[in-house]
């Protein structure tokens, strides 16, 4: 794999602004590989009403259980993660956030 694309991984955190707490995501950029979604992955997502948009691979050392990803100008939720210990990578299945009409 080439590691020639980048994504921004986002960790959701609570911040206080003028005494009011709100959720926000803090993003950082990492290199990734873009993978193809399998037929099973597509059908499993469709069965729950949220079809996956993309599958990407990042290095295990760079992934810290972030739940948001910015990829190619859009923000996604991380639906599923699959560790590949042999290659020290993590596959992330991305879905459009609830209420979004963008599906990739």
SS3 content of the chain, % helix, strand, coil (to 5): 10, 55, 30
- Each residue's pLDDT tens digit, 38-87: 998 888 777 777 789 999 999 999 999 999 999 999 999 999 999 999 99
Please, what are the domains in the chain? 5-95 (2.40.10.270)
Q: What is residue 50's predicted lDDT score, i.e. its pLDDT?
A: 79
DSSP symbol at 59:
E
pLDDT of residue 101: 55
């Amino acid at each position: 794999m080439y590691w020639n694309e980048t994504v921004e991984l986002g960790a959701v955190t609570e911040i206080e602004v003028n005494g009011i707490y709100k959720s926000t995501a803090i993003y950082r950029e990492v290199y990734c590989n873009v993978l193809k979604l399998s037929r099973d992955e597509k059908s499993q997502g469709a069965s729950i009403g949220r079809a996956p948009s993309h599958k990407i691979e990042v290095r295990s050392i760079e992934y810290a259980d972030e739940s948001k990803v910015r990829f190619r100008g859009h923000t996604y939720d991380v639906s599923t993660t699959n560790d590949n210990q042999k290659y020290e990578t993590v596959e992330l299945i991305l879905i459009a956030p609830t209420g979004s009409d963008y599906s990739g």
